[in-house]
Amino acid sequence: MAKKAWGGRFKKSTSKIAEKFSESISFDKRLYKEDIKGSIAHVTMLADQKIILKKESNKIIKALKEIEKEIEKEKFKFKEEYEDIHLNIEKRLIEKIGEIGGKIHTARSRNDQVLVDTKLYIRSEINEIIDLINELSKQFVNQAEMNLDTILPLYTHMQRGQPVLLSHHLLAYYEMLKRDNERFSDCLRRVNINPLGCGAGSGTSFPIDRDKTTKLLGFKEASKNSIDTVSDRDFIAEFIFCCSSLMMHLSRLAEEFVLWSSKEFDFIDLGDEFTTGSSIMPQKRNPDMAELTRGKIARVYGNLNSILTLMKGLPLSYNRDMQEDKEPLFDTVDTVKGCLELNTEMLKTAKFKAENMEKALSGGFITATDIADYLAKKGMPFRNAHEVSGKIVAYAEKKNKELEELTLDELQKFSDLIKKDVLDVIKVKGSVESKISYGGTSSKNVKKMITLAKKELSKQAKN
Amino acid sequence: MAKKAWGGRFKKSTSKIAEKFSESISFDKRLYKEDIKGSIAHVTMLADQKIILKKESNKIIKALKEIEKEIEKEKFKFKEEYEDIHLNIEKRLIEKIGEIGGKIHTARSRNDQVLVDTKLYIRSEINEIIDLINELSKQFVNQAEMNLDTILPLYTHMQRGQPVLLSHHLLAYYEMLKRDNERFSDCLRRVNINPLGCGAGSGTSFPIDRDKTTKLLGFKEASKNSIDTVSDRDFIAEFIFCCSSLMMHLSRLAEEFVLWSSKEFDFIDLGDEFTTGSSIMPQKRNPDMAELTRGKIARVYGNLNSILTLMKGLPLSYNRDMQEDKEPLFDTVDTVKGCLELNTEMLKTAKFKAENMEKALSGGFITATDIADYLAKKGMPFRNAHEVSGKIVAYAEKKNKELEELTLDELQKFSDLIKKDVLDVIKVKGSVESKISYGGTSSKNVKKMITLAKKELSKQAKN
Amino acid sequence: MAKKAWGGRFKKSTSKIAEKFSESISFDKRLYKEDIKGSIAHVTMLADQKIILKKESNKIIKALKEIEKEIEKEKFKFKEEYEDIHLNIEKRLIEKIGEIGGKIHTARSRNDQVLVDTKLYIRSEINEIIDLINELSKQFVNQAEMNLDTILPLYTHMQRGQPVLLSHHLLAYYEMLKRDNERFSDCLRRVNINPLGCGAGSGTSFPIDRDKTTKLLGFKEASKNSIDTVSDRDFIAEFIFCCSSLMMHLSRLAEEFVLWSSKEFDFIDLGDEFTTGSSIMPQKRNPDMAELTRGKIARVYGNLNSILTLMKGLPLSYNRDMQEDKEPLFDTVDTVKGCLELNTEMLKTAKFKAENMEKALSGGFITATDIADYLAKKGMPFRNAHEVSGKIVAYAEKKNKELEELTLDELQKFSDLIKKDVLDVIKVKGSVESKISYGGTSSKNVKKMITLAKKELSKQAKN
Amino acid sequence: MAKKAWGGRFKKSTSKIAEKFSESISFDKRLYKEDIKGSIAHVTMLADQKIILKKESNKIIKALKEIEKEIEKEKFKFKEEYEDIHLNIEKRLIEKIGEIGGKIHTARSRNDQVLVDTKLYIRSEINEIIDLINELSKQFVNQAEMNLDTILPLYTHMQRGQPVLLSHHLLAYYEMLKRDNERFSDCLRRVNINPLGCGAGSGTSFPIDRDKTTKLLGFKEASKNSIDTVSDRDFIAEFIFCCSSLMMHLSRLAEEFVLWSSKEFDFIDLGDEFTTGSSIMPQKRNPDMAELTRGKIARVYGNLNSILTLMKGLPLSYNRDMQEDKEPLFDTVDTVKGCLELNTEMLKTAKFKAENMEKALSGGFITATDIADYLAKKGMPFRNAHEVSGKIVAYAEKKNKELEELTLDELQKFSDLIKKDVLDVIKVKGSVESKISYGGTSSKNVKKMITLAKKELSKQAKN
């Protein structure tokens, strides 16, 4: 068994079972790039501050870059007995360049490393996720633009309500995703704070320059309180919450895709590439990818639950419990990115079945509200107008007619206020186009929003 | 049984059991102020846009204000059969001023009302919570200022680590709370979007002016997509997450207060007003308020879990499930505000026991790291310095001495690099003051942070 | 401010804010019956053991019964300053019969009371919930019996799969509920252990007889370790888990009711009493009760999350955090009972639309698997049979025919193994009746299960 | 790209991204043993029922056993394109023995396989977990037996309460673990139901014998409703709940180990093998294994949250979301087993520091309750006795004496009822031994419970 970095005063070595129980190298090796990046910045600063010699730092940096390549080429042997990525790299460093390698740990602690690695990692992943969200957003805008003539019922309580443009419906997801992006950006501001230089929790007596590492690593500023810094895992919880919110939106989309793929709705064709068959029922075409997207929300909610449970009631400052923050974090990142990529591709090839959506508009007296609004505009108090409209629906139902099929004469029997212009109002297309209020479903509005969305997306792309 | 607002075409009335099952008036009556505020803005705009007459709007507004007073004076009879706060108020309005009251619902739906009420409510509560957080923050800064001479061990793994200023420890909480405030502010930006004018989900054909209600209600802007607007409960989930994060911090504080109140630590006296006795063990002085604070995190985590579960996989747009958003929201608000108030008062009167904290500094070779750092500064690679320091500790342990009690001669046996200046380094006070890195525990640093915190708090107060 | 029961050595009284923060009387007054029941058993035992006099116990018991009536008649004044139900009752007792009332607390502590009350409460609620589950189960069996001729597609992936009897589908819920009942019964075994007699956690030196109170209160046995007993809240967590599992089943039923109520499926009519209208769209008939049932799962999941979070990492024995166990418990009980009652009534009046279910059987080549099975039975390896069956489907699709409409000649072109008996196999009814395996959908099987279910339910009713 | 088992009618093959998104082989390969076991039972039954030939079944079984060996020797190539463990094995089977291998899927579906594999897996893991719990229980009993003379304070609110035997405290964990075992056993009854024979959800038309496979696979009985069977994941949720409850207990133990390892308590020495040092603070001895145990509860709570979220609102019968049940299940099993093993070993070598526990008994007037009980026994109403006891404590505090140090004279000033026998009562040992009530801390009681526990454990071992 290898000697531990902290083993000086211990009489017995760690038991094998404890070593296995407590190692993190099996999952934190994923942070090797960030660990090396953080070490290089640290060592550069140490030399600048004359805490170590320039030639020492050069030697260390050169060796660290070699180690990075060894890992990338899968030639690096990770050892469980060295516990974590930080010590695995340090051990290899000393192996390569001798005891001078030990200078890398001057004026820093593992707490520093854990935090700088995790923050660099999340920062990079947030940026990737924002890009992936924009890709998906783009598909919603594309599909909205391509389906400007398609009308479907807006469902409330899973019942057909008012007619809306499919484009308007798709842009609702654009808005959700925009909020998600905002949340990730806000989270990023809190992630992007330099923890390096807090030592084991009290700071350090070495004349380090935290502004220097802040700059080298692209952080916005250095953290202000060393105890808070090593105790803090807020940024992981917030990140996983942002992911939960995003997954919640994707689960709603997935639910609609599953519903719309059913024979009963038959509103969408997700394409052979994104559906599967049954091993026993040859006629099936299953929206598995949508179902899995819906199911994968469970992992991310679970991970949020984990990180919050983990941090409940922990006294300051570092407690080993906190090592359990990594796996929910990594699993969340993988799940979210996988779902975004998949859904972008799936949406790209999805075909919306306009004719079936249109069929769903009939039989539900879907413009009844428009009659009520029509009457209210002519001066009838809304509650009365609502009642008259109800009676017209009852009449149409009895006559087995659509509202559009009623004649002006028939309609006028219910109120003197009804004039010829009602005939536009009760048409589905007329109803849609009448919704001119800002944010409403009229095609004029929707086109404006598409233009705006495209502008926003191209601005995002430039950032 | 009362006739329902939507009852026109129904043959049978709602069963009593269903009525009870689905009513929300028992909890959403809490939103009466917001509901009336939203209605007044809506009606004002309707009149401005000539959708209703000015004199109609005046009449309605006057009556609404009377209703508000009736409710405040507990003279208003809430009826379960009118389901919710919106219809209870509307019914009373019509009762008071006749069918003209029905005009209030022109160009809006209950979805509009639910959303505008909830958003106004959360906005107002966020502002209150931010104020309460600032009050608590102020107490941390006050206590930090009052305890600048107190040193205690920084615990990691619940083991005594390096010596730090109590003030530095207290300011760690200041930093946590500052992040909480930032999160609430970010959340507020997403809450503060005007939903009014989305109708049942497709917008409206009335020539409403959403900018007008936006201005009247102090929103930042109007929402951009009517379907998204009525489908969205993100802002509740985000708000409860912000509360969860805050409660997590308070649970950590509570844990420390509980620990520090124990005879074993004996670091704090919370005062008779905030401790209780036992019905059977007369000598007990229990930190119940801290324990309850720690326990109350469970409610807020539970509420976050609720709202996320609720929204999983719901297709667009409104589904009745969403009515279940209110109770977790209200319970969260009450819990968080109660905990903030209580802890502010409790912290105000808490007495920190400097002498006991000091005692905890001895016996743990708590400045061993400082020796390692000292040697590293003299040029020894850190890993070696760490080992030498370990040997000195072993020696002191054997001799049954504190590090401070070792003579220069004894120390120099371990390394030629050790000079007279080591004697300052191994003193607790010297160790603290040596941590001059930005964010470290030296009193110079901590005083700077206190000044900064006071500036930030006074700036917050002005906003 | 009232003097506290434990106030002897305290110099200052509890602050008003702390009193409000820590009181539980506002919610635990609900346990008054259990508290009095427990006290009567305790006092009876004390007298039997000659720890107090028989006439003292008689006086106390008489007064306790009067107090119970005062509470029932709402003549009892609950006071926040007396903190909880236990002290409120004790104070009143002493008020009524003088200091002898104080003897009630001989040989017991509040921990004893909290636990005995909660356990009696949960025991009683479990029994009620089991009854309510049986009521709902009965409705499933009734509906199964009434709909024995109705066939619908079994959906997998929300796609029409094989034809099954509606009765078979309904009995799936019967099985789920049966498991729920088993879980509640198992939980009850662990609830039904007598905690009384553990004192504050170490037992008592009074010669109490725990078997006596066990018998008086109908517990199965006395708990074996006083420390465990006062530290334990497992039984609440387990109870809420059982409720979560039940609610999960109800949420699945609710989802199906919502889907089936849509125009797209149109499989069910829930009745006017259990649906509602829209304030703005007169044609709507919304399955609100099903949606709310689906939504209410969120509360119970949230409550489970709460109780588990609460107990995480609490050291033994009692900690005040544990007071936070009550509200999630009460809310869970109310939610679960409300949902069971509502759904029982709703299911009672629900009408299943057999003709629409039948329509859903066509167009999906729903008996394709039966052809594969047919061929496999004739000796073709199943994977090949599956492929042949796929080709027949493709042919039928191209010819725009149902499988039932294909002639024997057409079918025989695909395999020599196909004989005249295939014509029964490809009929929907034939397919259903062929599923003769135990647990399958053939009407013979289903009838057998209905008979069995009725037997089980009548046996349950007798218990 | 490989041809899919269900690919017959599809024009385009699954996209690479979808294939990767939906594969489960990367984690469900873990079920290979169970899958093969289930297949062998199925095929044996098919031959017995003459659905396939005996020689066919022999050939298949032989090949399956070879495949099992290939997997064990890591010579089996798992392919992502074959999606899952079931198809990977089937493909290899056909590769080995030709199209006859395809007969294995006669009269069953993948749903059958998924369920039978998972149930066999959980059954086996429950049995292992029960054994591991018993191992840990044994250590508690051993330590209880070895520490019968050690007294420590029972903490409530983290305050020293009454004196109790350490053995009694340790046996509290024995009781918790016993309940855990009961819950696992109850869960096992619901797991141990044979799902095989439900086909895709409607049963099968083949003359299968489900009793036969029930017997071959050691299940208790066959499931009663094919739709319920394929829709059900209750047993996973219940299993993870049982694990959550167990982890909650371990987190409480871990909290105590962390506290007791602190210098402030200093009640336990966990041994060098189970503690670690700091990379920067040489004097530290950290109870990392206890902290990690406490932290790992977060994973299991998170996994429970996942499975419950997953199943919320899913309509019957199978939905692909349900594939997401595996990873939380596997992670829970690994975590729970790891924690049980680790804690068993750690407890085995732990040393309790009797002298420090004893020290904690002084200074807290820890036998004050005993005085109150003493007086109550002499006839004083308990509330008054409590007050007198409080006054004696106040007196002792003022005189700076322990209760044991007060003279009879001093004591008698507070009440005439006090006689010489009070002197035993106020001694710590006397207090402990006086707690003779069933379940109390007297050594007589505790010894009885140790004997009982040993009997229970040896009975368990025999099962």
Q: Determine the pLDDT at residue C366.
A: 86
**Average pLDDT of every residue of chain C:** 93
**Average pLDDT of every residue of chain D:** 93
**For residue D60, pLDDT beyond 80:** yes
Write the residue in B11, B298, B338 that is nearest to C21 by C-beta.
B338
Q: Could you tell me if D181 and D148 are in contact, meaning their C-beta atoms sit under 8 angstroms apart?
A: no
Element (H, E) at B163: strand B159-165
**For residue B1, pLDDT beyond 50:** no
Q: Could you tell me if C7 and B277 are in contact, meaning their C-beta atoms sit under 8 angstroms apart?
A: yes
Q: How far is CA A56 from CA A44, A46, A59, A100, in A?
A: 10, 10, 5, 7
Q: Convert the pLDDT of each residue in C92-101 to its tens digit.
A: 999 999 989 9
Q: Chain C: list its partners (3+ Cβ pairs within 8 Å).
A: A, B, D
What are the residues facing B286 on neighbouring strands? B276
pTM: 0.95
Tokens at A60, concatenated: 């260390």
**Cβ-proximal residues to A137 (8 Å cutoff; 6+ apart), any chain:** A174, A177, A178, A453, A457
Between chains, do B159 and D284 touch, taking CB under 8 Å as contact?
yes
Q: Could you tell me if A195 and C321 are in contact, meaning their C-beta atoms sit under 8 angstroms apart?
A: no
Q: Could you tell me how far CA D8 lies from the centroid of its own chain?
A: 45
Exposed, middle or buried by CB within 10 Å (0-12, 13-18, 19+), for C459? exposed
Q: What is the ipTM of this complex?
A: 0.94
Q: Determine the pLDDT at residue C273.
A: 86
Q: Determine the pLDDT at residue B2.
A: 41
Q: Which of C307, C414, A102 is nearest to B379 (CA)?
A: A102
Q: Which of D250, D248, D247, D195 is nearest to D225 (CA)?
A: D195
Measured in angstroms, the CA of D92 and the nearest CA of chain C are apart by 14
**Cβ-proximal residues to C369 (8 Å cutoff; 6+ apart), any chain:** A280, A281, A282, C162, C389, D200
Domains, chain A, in order of start with CATH, read: 22-106 (1.10.275.10), 111-360 (1.20.200.10), 368-426 (1.10.40.30)
Q: Could you tell me how far CA A450 lies from the centroid of its own chain?
A: 22
A259 touching B, CB under 8 A? yes
Pairwise pLDDT comparison (C11 vs A164), residue with the higher score: A164
Element (H, E) at A165: strand A159-165
**For residue C376, pLDDT beyond 70:** yes
Task: Compare all CA atoms of chain B with the CA of C14 and give the residue at the minimum distance.
Answer: B273
Confidence of residue D278 (pLDDT cuts 50, 70, 90): low
* Average pLDDT estimate for D169-195: 98
**For residue D2, pLDDT beyond 50:** no
A313 touching C, CB under 8 A? yes
Element (H, E) at A87: helix A85-97
Percentage of chain D lying above the pLDDT 70 cut: 95
Between chains, do D164 and C9 touch, taking CB under 8 Å as contact?
no
Q: Which residues of chain A have pLDDT under 70?
A: 1-14, 278-283, 463
Q: Convert the pLDDT of each residue in D347-406 to its tens digit.
A: 999 999 999 999 999 877 888 889 988 998 898 888 788 889 888 988 888 898 888 889
Q: What is the DSSP string of C300-319?
A: HHHHHHHHHHHHTTPPSS--
Q: Convert the pLDDT of each residue in C124-163 to its tens digit.
A: 999 999 999 999 999 999 999 999 999 999 999 999 989 9
The residue among D231, D255, D292, D342 with the most chain A CBs within 10 A of its CB, best to mutate, is D292
Q: Could you tell me if A336 and A129 are in contact, meaning their C-beta atoms sit under 8 angstroms apart?
A: yes
**For residue D112, pLDDT beyond 90:** yes
Confidence of residue D282 (pLDDT cuts 50, 70, 90): low
Q: Could you tell me if D439 and C229 are in contact, meaning their C-beta atoms sit under 8 angstroms apart?
A: yes
CA angle at residue D214 from D210 to D218, to 5 degrees? 170
Exposed, middle or buried by CB within 10 Å (0-12, 13-18, 19+), for A341? middle
Q: Which of A267, A288, A291, A268 is nearest to A279 (CA)?
A: A288
Pairwise pLDDT comparison (D189 vs C4), residue with the higher score: D189
What sign does the CA torsion over C370, C375, C376, C377 have? positive
Exposed, middle or buried by CB within 10 Å (0-12, 13-18, 19+), for A124? middle
Q: Which residues in chain B have Cβ-Cβ distances shorter than 8 Å to A102? A: 381-384
Q: Convert the pLDDT of each residue in B149-164 to its tens digit.
A: 999 999 999 999 899 9
Between chains, do B279 and C5 touch, taking CB under 8 Å as contact?
yes
Q: Determine the pLDDT at residue D16.
A: 87
Long-range contacts of B21-24 (CB under 8 A, 24+ apart): B21/C289, B21/C292, B21/C338, B21/C342, B22/B83, B22/B320, B22/B323, B22/C276, B22/C288, B22/C289, B22/C292, B23/B80, B23/B83, B23/B84, B24/B83, B24/B84, B24/B85, B24/B323, B24/B326
d(CA C47, CA B56): 75
What sign does the CA torsion over D380, D386, D388, D392 have? positive
What are the residues facing D276 on neighbouring strands? D286
Between chains, do A273 and D342 touch, taking CB under 8 Å as contact?
no
Between chains, do B316 and A245 touch, taking CB under 8 Å as contact?
no
Q: What is the DSSP string of B169-238?
A: HHHHHHHHHHHHHHHHHHHHHHH-EE-TT-TTTT--SS---HHHHHHHTT-SEE-S-HHHHHH--HHHHH
Q: Determine the pLDDT at residue B281.
A: 60
A328 touching D, CB under 8 A? yes
C303 touching D, CB under 8 A? no
Q: Determine the pLDDT at residue A2.
A: 41
Query: Mind telling me the catalytic residues of D?
Result: 157, 278
**C157 included as an active-site residue:** yes
- B–D: how many Cβ contacts below 8 A? 118
Exposed, middle or buried by CB within 10 Å (0-12, 13-18, 19+), for A263? middle
Cis link prior to A317 (omega < 30° from 0)? yes
Q: Convert the pLDDT of each residue in B265-314 to its tens digit.
A: 999 999 888 988 765 565 678 999 999 999 999 999 999 999 999 999 99
d(CA B58, CA B64): 10
Least confident of B26-40, C430-444, D264-278: D264-278
Q: Chain B: list its partners (3+ Cβ pairs within 8 Å).
A: A, C, D
Cis link prior to B317 (omega < 30° from 0)? yes
**For residue D215, pLDDT beyond 90:** yes
Find residues 40-69 of chain B whose CB sits inside 8 Å of chain A: 51
Q: Could you tell me if D153 and C314 are in contact, meaning their C-beta atoms sit under 8 angstroms apart?
A: no
Between chains, do D18 and A273 touch, taking CB under 8 Å as contact?
yes
For residue C74, how many other CB atoms are within 10 A of its CB?
7
Q: Could you tell me if D258 and D329 are in contact, meaning their C-beta atoms sit under 8 angstroms apart?
A: no
Q: Which residues in chain D have Cβ-Cβ distances shorter than 8 Å to B358? A: none
d(CA A131, CA A127): 6
Q: Convert the pLDDT of each residue in A123-170 to its tens digit.
A: 999 999 999 999 999 999 999 999 999 999 999 999 998 999 999 999
Q: Could you tell me if D366 and D163 are in contact, meaning their C-beta atoms sit under 8 angstroms apart?
A: yes
Q: Convert the pLDDT of each residue in B169-178 to its tens digit.
A: 999 999 999 9
What are the residues facing C221 on neighbouring strands? C193
**Cβ-proximal residues to D90 (8 Å cutoff; 6+ apart), any chain:** D5, D101, D102, D104, D105
DSSP B314: P
Q: Read off the amino acid at residue D277.
A: G
**For residue D117, pLDDT beyond 60:** yes
* Average pLDDT estimate for C315-328: 96
B389 touching D, CB under 8 A? yes
CA dihedral C244, C246, C249, C255 (to 10 degrees): -70
Q: Which of D151, A262, D294 is nearest to B157 (CA)?
A: D294
Q: Which of D39, D197, D106 is nearest to C437 (CA)?
A: D197
**For residue D311, pLDDT beyond 50:** yes
CA dihedral A135, A140, A143, A144 (to 10 degrees): -140
